[in-house]
Structure 1
């Protein structure tokens, strides 16, 4: 499995994906799951993948070669898509087609064919956007109420984003929250692990800054340690439940009136 998140704030978009895949505790390896298509000054599109690796890799290969959409004769790619919405349609169509082709031969393993993707970025003349694409090919768009989308093993990394991420969160803070989200996830789920790939896309910049964050990255290690210490200090500073004896082993004081 994996964990991927896309965070869209007023400043722009950040997408982060881990690289771990596993088919059991004794078969763990790493594959790149964040793929960026960029034509500087014209478009920047990032795709994060989660789920069955053969499905997602085949779908991405189809998109790279060109997808013939219903009612159109010419193949379309991420480089030719006129809008980000159309790019999401192209990827969704490829993902559904691959899943449908593989499904009959792997009917018994149907649940293992689950796959999903995050697609985000901007095409010149259009708005910055972020979509979650399901295995069936349909998708949803990220909105203002919840300025992030996740796929994969996201339950451990969701609380910090729910509590702290807002549309007006500065990009540096959004990236920090995203990395804390990953730190929380890898501490509780062996199926997610470093290195992590990240792309940061400024609004209307039509360019992305990419980075790989290794397990021994000094900032990531320091961030995780500081977050653990802050959590410990916060819960110690909170009052104990008033209905519980704060010293359960203490002997009761008996007053003797003479």
Structure 2
């Protein structure tokens, strides 16, 4: 399992992904799940992945191979005329890989499943963000749903739902994601550091910042410890539950 998030801000796009993969308690390793294709001034495409590692690596491998070679091998992420067409391309590659791995065809609960968050911008169009499902179909972010999560989402989702604002700065978005990922890593051992963080600023067609967050990262540790302390303080400030024992009521003992 893994955890990945893509946010669409007024200022641009933000992505974060963990690197943990496991096939049992005694087989834990780290693999990068964030992949970037960049033509400065022309296009910037980011893809983060969750799911079966063999499937995600095959999808990335095919996209990389077709980006390096001539168009005779198939459409390339460097050839697509729009981010929508890029999402179609990635979806088709996902279907191709899963169909090859599972002769009976892909299903959402298949052991070969994989999901992706795709985002970026091609010169002359607006930045866009997509969620691509294991079946190869996809949806695009909207003002009502300006972010996507894949993988182990349930522990980190509450903070994003409560605190996300499209007008926030990149620094505020990074802080929000640090809290979301800290909550997830504390609750599920299948998600773990290092983390990869990327900022994309609108209309630049290049990475604004890409950073790996290691377990000993000073800022991450301060966020983790500060959030734990803040939660305890907030809990203590909440009003106490008031109740009175029921006088004279017989209590039935459990059998």
Q: Normalising by structure 2, what TM-score?
A: 0.89
| 1:1-258 to 2 correspondences below 5 Å | 1-66=1-66, 75-104=74-103, 111-208=110-207, 209-243=209-243
Q: Secondary structure at the match of 2:58?
A: helix
Preserved CA contact (<8 Å) 2:16 2:177: yes
Could you tell me how far apart the structure 1 residues matched to 2:19 and 2:130 are?
A: 20
Could you tell me how far apart the structure 1 residues matched to 2:13 and 2:191 are?
A: 22
Alignment RMSD (CA, Å): 1.9
Could you tell me how far apart the structure 1 residues matched to 2:46 and 2:20 are?
A: 18
Q: In the superposition, relative to structure 1, how do residues 75 and 244 fare at CA in structure 2: closer, same or farther (>3 Å)? A: farther
Q: Secondary structure at the match of 1:180?
A: helix
1:142 to partner: Cα distance = 1.1
Preserved CA contact (<8 Å) 1:33 1:49: yes
Q: Normalising by structure 1, what TM-score?
A: 0.88
Preserved CA contact (<8 Å) 1:147 1:166: no
Q: In the superposition, relative to structure 1, how do residues 231 and 73 fare at CA in structure 2: closer, same or farther (>3 Å)? A: same
Instruction: Give per-residue Cα distances to partners, 1:104-131, cap 9 Å, x unaligned.
Output: 2899xx6321210010111101111111
Q: In the superposition, relative to structure 1, how do residues 151 and 244 fare at CA in structure 2: closer, same or farther (>3 Å)? A: farther
User: Number of residue pairs matched?
Assistant: 239
Preserved CA contact (<8 Å) 1:8 1:130: yes
Could you tell me how far apart the structure 2 residues matched to 1:35 and 1:244 are?
A: 58
Q: Secondary structure at the match of 1:187?
A: helix
Where does residue 248 of structure 1 map in the other structure? none
Where does residue 249 of structure 1 map in the other structure? none
Instruction: Give per-residue Cα distances to partners, 1:26-77, cap 9 Å, x unaligned.
Output: 000011100011111111111001000111111111122239xxxx977211
Q: Secondary structure at the match of 1:204?
A: coil
Where structure 2 has 5 or more consecutive residues not aligned to the other structure, the ranges are: 246-255
Instruction: Give per-residue Cα distances to partners, 1:124-174, cap 9 Å, x unaligned.
Output: 011111111011110011111122100000110000000010222222111
Preserved CA contact (<8 Å) 2:50 2:114: yes
Could you tell me how far apart the structure 1 residues matched to 2:38 and 2:153 are?
A: 27
Where does residue 251 of structure 1 map in the other structure? none
Preserved CA contact (<8 Å) 1:22 1:29: yes
